[in-house]
Amino acid sequence: MSITFMMDALHAQTGGTNCALPAVMVMNNGTAVTSVAQWRERRQELLHLLRLQMYGQSPGRPENMAFKVFDEDKHALNGKATRKQITVFFNGQADGPQMDLLIYIPNNIKRPPVILGLNFYGNHAVCTDKAVKITTSWMDNNDAGVVNNRATDAGRGTDTSRWPLDMILGHGYALVTAYRGDIDPDYDDGFKNGVHALYPELQNRGDNFATIAAWAWGLSRAMDYIETDKDLDAKHVVAFGWSRLGKAALWAGANDERLGIVISNESGAGGAKLFHHINGENIRRLCTVFPHWFNTNFRKYMDKDSCLPFDQHMVISLIAPRPVYIASAADDNNADPPGEFLTAKAADPVYRFLGTKGLPAEIMPPIGHPVYAQIGYHIRTGKHDVTRYDWQQYLTFIDSHFK
Ligand code: GCU
């Protein structure tokens, strides 16, 4: 079944309008991409387009960035793992913007592959380990254990269900995580705080460095650290993210080819959902409720979702041929599950062109029936969340590529 046909069928169901999806495999000058060398050029055109119109420009690796390992315990989690905590000083200054990495490495595996992901509520929320440092960065007062926009001890372990360390370590993977707010606090302040403060030249322009791009950039800086750590296999790193952090994981994977696999758990609009499929969150909502997430040029596309000159299948195509997994939840209409499936489907030709098996599904699979080859997809029952069911599928997918 063709993607156009599926779009028509789904649009009929949701009452959306339809415009052709912009082509991925055609160069700006109209030439079809027929060689890998041309694809590499097309890749640059797509990166340019998406940076300009949506995500903004990101700086590279800061020249003076420094790492400080401030904690190491080889007997963490009842002896199962080694815990490390590292501060990344983005501009090398102790009083400058900084993020703390929390790392658990299974003790029974030498140099394991790594699952790298930003967390919503602080490193201390990911597990109950009392030795985990509590961030001093800004946090939302609605989040567990937060007082006056700062985390407290009461937040410890409040996010463990989304980070099943037993499963991750049990499959032989290390976990590297950091709090999103260490990189950029998640509120609209005109792009002043977090790492934005270091890059005034990337502000006050239509393609400004915005928050999703900053979080993605933070994942690349974590990757810089991973490359220096002899206890981690930097050649096998998975970028994982849920929801807004899934949007960031996808953009990180699109930009940074060191990230070997990307997993998007319900990333929705601005993540894995196709804007052309009018359902769930749209550009107007993204740009008004979360005006700091994307660049200011993106605002001119409000109400033009179904006729955008770019779309998220381009982001997934930029990850090709590296494995990517896109997951949805049945009750998560805001993230538009069919729109997430359609994005995977629309990137499939690029994956096949690059010699992989792409996404082995003609139509959207039913709930609870994961499909995967180089692209994976599932929709599970339930609400917007990260569950053990989700992790089971991701770990099986990662095993199939890394083992
Ligand atoms: C909101 C937002 C989504 C986002 C989600 C999240 O629901 O509309 O775009 O993905 O928050 O990050 O949890």
Residue to probe by mutation, ligand 1, list 162, 186, 292, 334, most atoms within 8 Å of CB? 334
384 classed as catalytic: yes
Query: Are the C-beta atoms of 82 and 231 separated by less than 8 Å?
Result: yes
With respect to residue 69, please indicate whether it lies within any of the assigned structural domains.
no
Could you give the number of structural domains in the chain? Answer: 1
> Residue 195: which domain range?
44-62+110-402
Strand arrangement, sheet containing 261-265: 66-75, 81-89, 98-106, 174-179, 114-119, 237-242, 261-265, 324-329, 375-380, 371-372
With respect to residue 309, please indicate whether it lies within any of the assigned structural domains.
yes
With respect to residue 186, please indicate whether it lies within any of the assigned structural domains.
yes
334 lines ligand 1 (CB under 6 A): yes
Separation of CA 244 and ligand 1 centre (Å): 6
260 lines ligand 1 (CB under 6 A): no
With respect to residue 21, please indicate whether it lies within any of the assigned structural domains.
no
243 lines ligand 1 (CB under 6 A): yes
Query: Residue 19's pLDDT is what?
Result: 78
> How many angstroms separate the CA atoms of 171 and 148, rounded?
39
Residue whose Cα lies nearest atom 12 of ligand 1: it is 244
Strand partners, 239: 116, 262
243 classed as catalytic: yes
Residue to probe by mutation, ligand 1, list 140, 187, 243, most atoms within 8 Å of CB? 243
Separation of CA 192 and ligand 1 centre (Å): 22
Eight-state DSSP code of residue 105: E
* Predicted model pTM: 0.97
With respect to residue 85, please indicate whether it lies within any of the assigned structural domains.
no
Query: Residue 17's pLDDT is what?
Result: 53
401 lines ligand 1 (CB under 6 A): no
Q: What is the CATH number of the domain that holds 55?
A: 3.40.50.1820
In 157-293, where do the E strands start and end? Answer: 174-179, 237-242, 261-265
> How many angstroms separate the CA atoms of 253 and 251, rounded?
5
Collect the ranges in the chain with pLDDT lower than 70: 1-18
268 lines ligand 1 (CB under 6 A): yes
Degrees, nearest 5: CA angle 272-278-282: 65
186 lines ligand 1 (CB under 6 A): no
With respect to residue 362, please indicate whether it lies within any of the assigned structural domains.
yes
Q: Name the catalytic one among 243, 267, 317, 328.
A: 243
With respect to residue 5, please indicate whether it lies within any of the assigned structural domains.
no
In sequence order, which residues have a C-beta less than 8 Å from that of residue 272 and are 6 or more positions away?
Answer: 246, 250, 264, 312, 316, 326, 335, 340, 343, 344
With respect to residue 238, please indicate whether it lies within any of the assigned structural domains.
yes
Separation of CA 65 and ligand 1 centre (Å): 31
